[in-house]
Structure 1
Amino acid sequence: MNKRQIETLLSSFTGSDVSSPFGPDALVYKVKGKMYALISQNEEIARVTLKCKPEDGEVLISQFESISPGYYMNKRHWITIKLCGEVDSTILTELAHDSYQLVVAKLKKVERESLLINGG
């Protein structure tokens, strides 16, 4: 999966909003104002940073050279993935979805419900 494909996937999630609060070097994806992904923009090999369960992060970091603890993030709850082709697109899709779901699960009930109403 390349940078464009992961950007398209992240943008497809209900209530997803994208901005560049840290400048042109990173796109930040949020749902209801809470970040669930960050994608580097001006690197030869782009990186995506996603929220994950700590136990899942540990396993992924041990299995893949291209996955490391979250770059500039809480190293326990975030992972950074180099989009170099090592991690299969099916796994990347699942990780992106899980990141989104982890953030949505922590939203206030009314915010979660508005996503269901507005998202179908």
Structure 2
Amino acid sequence: VNDKMFALVREKKEPVQLSLKCDPVLAETLREKYESVLPGYHLNKKHWNTILLTGQLSWEEVQDLILHSYSLVTRNGK
């Protein structure tokens, strides 16, 4: 979106990995709360999380994080 990435999916490895841009404070909170949320794989670890789609997070939580990531790259008309 607007020449910026907000999500990356790695499907060839189990479990599927979803990397999402994230507010730094929220990123740390999620990593502390869920063992399936890790610092971004090969990404800026301050601003990205990689989520292992193991079922630990509900699909609704994953959807919310996708929307959060999208909003970070589209806010302020950028």
Runs of 4+ more than 2 Å apart: none
Task: Give SS of 1:35's match.
Answer: coil
1:32 lines up with 2:2 in the alignment: yes
Residues 60-91 of structure 1: per-residue CA shift (max 9 Å, x gap) = 00000100110100000000000010011111
> Which 10-residue stretch deviates more, 76-85 or 98-107?
98-107
Partner Cα separation in structure 2 for residue 51 and residue 61 of structure 1: 13
Map of 2:47 onto structure 1: 77
Bigger radius of gyration among the two: 1
Specify every segment of 5 or more residues in structure 2 that has no aligned partner in the other structure, as ranges.
none
Of 33, 36, 40, the match for 1:66: 36
1:86 lines up with 2:35 in the alignment: no
Specify every segment of 5 or more residues in structure 1 that has no aligned partner in the other structure, as ranges.
1-30, 109-120
Q: Which has the higher contact order (CA 8 A, sep 6+)?
A: 2
Map of 1:45 onto structure 2: 15
Task: Give SS of 2:74's match.
Answer: helix
TM-score by length of 2: 0.94
The percentage of aligned residue pairs carrying the same residue is: 40
Q: Number of matched residues?
A: 78
Question: Which residue type is aligned with residue 104 of structure 1?
Answer: T
Partner Cα separation in structure 1 for residue 16 and residue 7 of structure 2: 13
Partner Cα separation in structure 2 for residue 43 and residue 104 of structure 1: 29
